[in-house]
Structures are given as C-alpha cells and as structure tokens.
Amino acid sequence: MDQHDRPMDREEPGEDEGVAPEGIVVGVDGSDHGQCALVWAAREAQRRRRPLHIVTAYSVPIFAASGLDGGYATVDDSVIREGAEAIVRQALDKVSTYDIDVDASVENGDASGVLLEMSETAELLVFGTRGRGGFVGRLLGSVSSALPAHSKCPTVTVPLICAPRLGETTEDRHVKAEQAKAGKRDVEQVVVVGVDGSEQARVAVLEAAEQAQRMGLPLRVLCAVPQYSGSLAWVPAPLDREALFADIKVQMDAGLAWIKSHFPGLPIETRLVDGSPVEVLIEASRNVELVVLGTRGHGGFAGMLLGSTSDGVLHHAKGPILVVPDRDDPRLADRAKFGPMLGAA
C-alpha cells in the first residue's frame, strides 16, 4: 500500500467511522521535538511490526474583540486546518522509507485530550518534549507532562537533546548549547528500568524486559537509594544504610530470579547505587538506549522512586523515557515464590 495515499482518506475528523487507532500513535506539531518523536516511533513500529498512526491536534483560538460592540472573534478554522494537514503530509514523507503500515489524522480538540482518548486503544503513545513554535505550539510541551501519568497505555517521551542518536539535527540554541557542554558520548546498548520494590516497579520491569527483547538489548535493573534527610538525620547512617542495602540486595536478587524465569534468554543484571533516584536516572538516560519507569509507586524500599521521581526524570531526561501505567499482569502472581519482597509476610 502506498503510504502517501492513506492519510488523505482520513483528512476530515470522523471519516474513520469511529475506528480508533491501534499500534503506535505519535503526536507531531511541526517542531524539531515532534520530528524526533516521529523517527523514534517509526523505528518502534518497524521493530514491533505494528501500524503507525500519526496525529496532530488543534483547537481554534478565540480572541476578545476590542471594538465598542464587544463580543469575541475567532480565527478561520479552514486556515488552521490546512496548516495541520501540511504537517501531516510532511510527517508521512519523513517515514515513507520505513517498512511499516502508516496512516494519519488531523483532530480538532485539545492535544492532551485527543491523545489520552487514543491511549485507550493504542499499544504505545510517543511524543516529544518541550515543543516550542511548531504548529500553533499546542501539541508538545504540556502534553508531555500530562500524558504519562494518565495514559491508559505505555508512553514514550523523546527529548530533543537526543536528536543526534536518531540521525536528526536541530537549530534550537538551548539544546545545541547543552549538547556542546555534554560532548560526544557513545550510547550504551542497554535498556535500564528503575525499581523501588513496589508492585508498580514490577509491572515496569516486565514491560522493560519485553522492550529489551524487542530491541535485542540486555536489561539493567537499577535501584537508587537517596540519603536520609530531615528527622531521620540522627540515625547512625553507616550501620543503618548497610542494613538497608543488604535488605534491598536480597529482594533485588529474588526479583532477578523471578524476571529471568519469565525471560530465560534475556541477559539481565541488577545494580544498587547510592544517590538521588532522579539524578541517577537522568544521567542514565543520557548514556543508554532507553529508560523505563512505572507510575504512582507507593512505599518502595525507601518510598522514593516512582511517582514524583518519574515526573522529575521526564522533565530533565537526556534520552527516550518509557513510562508504564499500572495494570494487572498474571506474571506478578508467582513473584513471591522466588524470595523476599516488600510488604510480604
């Protein structure tokens, strides 16, 4: 099927007769950020052998009239829509060389709301971060902050700073300055998943293992333990932290045996490090292919990793971040058979 013939069948919202997009959904807005997300999503669609759906969303701005008659004035919808359709065509041209099924749509509505609705049927949502300019500056930026916590499917955010590893370039002066400061680094061929001993982290580990298998890469299970602060500062730190680390190590070893039982052919290692989870995972994102996190972690080894940590990592990530929503998974049922776990009797 000719990829360039497909999107025009879906130019007008509603022409798909209510058929929701499946496979990989990527949001674009004409910015460099959106282009990076598009390339990552196309590669992922090819890896998974799943269709790619490209979407851009817009809402018609309303301005208060300054005349004596008062009232409100709106911008011509057709002009904005033509701009959106041009962005869709450019996106389709960009992914035309990939061996994937691809279609696209232009949606009228709030970008976050549009993508959140699509997450109910999509396998994966992909979008860039901090979109500036681009198509009415609406799709990215706030969307990348809102979606991971509320999406019904896993999400991937792709920051512009990792454009070189995707074969992309940018003239964004802030990003170029940060790239120059960081210097050229080789990206380690590994998928990293952050854990804290919570059930949400175990869900993330399962998704990370599946993703590592798809990418043909080893998996690294990483737990970072922050320093004590506040009312706990009086605790004898060396003795207490040694005991804490020993306890966490036992649980991580049990977790490693569990995940290996479900992915026997996948190379997996664990790392327990001393430091701020946010800082450790942000640095990891700069140097590895993908970082995977869960959402809304409760408790955990030190009550510290998921939830607020995933937000902090997303805002400062240096590479693609996959966030996995809470969900039931039958493979969680046999975790206790492999050894101690947080909250178990």
Angle (CA) 33-38-40 rounded to 5° is: 100
Q: In what order do the strands lie in the sheet with 188-194?
A: 102-108, 52-58, 24-27, 124-128, 155-158, 321-324, 288-294, 188-194, 219-225, 268-274
Percentage with pLDDT > 90 across the chain: 48
Q: Tell me the C-alpha distance between 275 and 297, whole Å.
A: 18
Average pLDDT over residues 95-108: 95
Residue 132 reports pLDDT greater than 90: no
Band (pLDDT 50/70/90 cuts) for residue 150 is: confident
Residue 66 reports pLDDT greater than 90: no
Q: Tell me the C-alpha distance between 302 and 244, whole Å.
A: 9
How many Å separate Cα 43 from the centre of its chain?
15
pLDDT at 56: 92
Residues of the chain with CATH 3.40.50.620: 3-62+74-182, 188-338
Q: pLDDT: is 125 or 301 the higher one? A: 125
Query: Which CATH number applies to 3-62+74-182?
Result: 3.40.50.620
Residue 335 reports pLDDT greater than 70: yes
User: Tens digits of per-residue pLDDT, 163-187?
Assistant: 888 988 877 777 777 777 777 778 9
DSSP-derived pairing of the beta strands 188-194 and 155-158: unpaired
Band (pLDDT 50/70/90 cuts) for residue 190 is: very high
Residue 125 reports pLDDT greater than 60: yes
pLDDT at 11: 36
Q: Tell me the C-alpha distance between 208 and 322, whole Å.
A: 8
pLDDT at 225: 86
Distances in Å between the Cα of 159 and the Cα atoms of 44, 220, 273 are 16, 21, 25
Which CATH architecture best describes the domain 188-338? Answer: 3-Layer(aba) Sandwich (3.40)
Q: pLDDT: is 240 or 68 the higher one? A: 240
Q: Tell me the C-alpha distance between 10 and 16, whole Å.
A: 6
pLDDT at 228: 63
Band (pLDDT 50/70/90 cuts) for residue 162 is: confident
What are the CB-based long-range contacts (under 8 Å, 24+) for 76-82?
Answer: 77/108, 80/136, 81/106, 81/108
Average pLDDT over residues 194-201: 89
pLDDT at 43: 97
Find where tokens 């681009």 sit. Answer: 134
pLDDT at 185: 75
45: left (phi over 0), alpha (psi -120 to 50) or beta: alpha
Whole-prediction pTM value? 0.84
Residue 307 reports pLDDT greater than 90: no
Kindly report the average pLDDT of the chain as a whole number. Answer: 81
Distances in Å between the Cα of 275 and the Cα atoms of 168, 227, 301 are 33, 7, 13
Tell me the three state secondary structure of residue 270. Answer: strand
Find where tokens 């060396």 sit. Answer: 238
DSSP of 111-143, one letter per residue?
A: HHHHHHHHTTT-SEEEEESS--STTTTTSSSHH
User: Tens digits of per-residue pLDDT, 216-275?
Assistant: 999 999 999 887 654 445 455 555 778 888 999 999 999 999 999 999 999 999 999 998
Q: Tell me the C-alpha distance between 287 and 165, whole Å.
A: 11
Strand runs (DSSP E) across 133-209, as ranges?
A: 155-158, 188-194
Q: What are phi and psi of 150, to 5 degrees?
A: -120, -10
Residue 137 reports pLDDT greater than 80: no
pLDDT at 216: 97
Q: Tell me the C-alpha distance between 281 and 298, whole Å.
A: 18
